[in-house]
Structure 1
């Protein structure tokens, strides 16, 4: 089991951070590894929405579909995929941190299967590093536009 949680303080209001981060169309702007996003269900975001992502991770191109499992605008969003060698849940939470700032938490959980089980420790390390970079990038983007 891989379970990685990363958080950062972003000096912007919670509503602004949550609206930006929860919009899959923005994912290629702040996720280091995500290159393309395609909505498979009609907008707007809702529980049951499905979004296809194309990413590069550990030198490989990955294609996967996330389904929105829970969504509380401005508070949290959880999406999950069950296909591929590494089924994954991704959860965002946003909390007011005082002074007009937001604590954003990014959590990835999953159970690798098949051949990818052998690489679980390395994947966890690389995911933690990528998540830190992703949160630092969204922080820069949002604070520059504030």
Structure 2
């Protein structure tokens, strides 16, 4: 069983502002509670092929992984993936207009755990959903103040 977690939130800010902030890896620690450090592995700015290393704590475990940017459409979509960590993972951000000066942001995490981790996929998906909901709420608070 794979993990596929989709969370959404509406933010009372223009799409360009929300996407610029969320796609800036330098802001990850400000709105992702579990991210402990972020380090560029390639030269900025963010582009297809860029690599960024993250250290996070999830379910009580320290995770170190490097995301590679797979797709980047400024203001619309960012797709990044890693083959490291607890299992290969793809993270997608999308942004859409939700009215004047309002943005619908979608955060999707999906992956296919292997071996023993496959048994824990449902628990991991529930924990991931809770964490993503909290992170998006934190992003909303940051951008709406």
TM-score (norm 1): 0.97
- Mapped to 1, the partners of 2:32 and 2:115 lie a distance apart of 26
The CA RMSD measured in Å over matched residues stands at 0.7
In the other structure, the counterpart of 1:87 is: 88
Correspondence list, 1:108-119, <5 A? 108-119=109-120
Correspondence list, 1:8-87, <5 A? 8-87=9-88
State which drifts further: 115-124 or 134-143. 115-124
In the other structure, the counterpart of 1:134 is: 135
**Residues 48-105 of structure 1 deviation map (CA, whole Å, 9 limit, x = unaligned):** 0000000000000000000000000000000000123310000000001102100000
- Mapped to 2, the partners of 1:4 and 1:132 lie a distance apart of 10
Are 2:63 and 2:86, in contact at CA under 8 Å, matched by a contact in 1? no
TM-score (norm 2): 0.97
Determine helix, strand or coil for the equivalent of 1:112: coil
- Mapped to 1, the partners of 2:50 and 2:114 lie a distance apart of 25
Q: Structure 1 unaligned runs (5+)?
A: none
The alpha-carbon deviation at position 119 of structure 1 amounts to 1.0
**Residues 15-68 of structure 1 deviation map (CA, whole Å, 9 limit, x = unaligned):** 000000001110111011111000000000000000000000000000000000
The alpha-carbon deviation at position 113 of structure 1 amounts to 1.1
Aligned residues: 144
Q: Structure 2 unaligned runs (5+)?
A: none
Question: Is residue 4 from structure 1 mapped to residue 11 from structure 2 by the alignment?
Answer: no
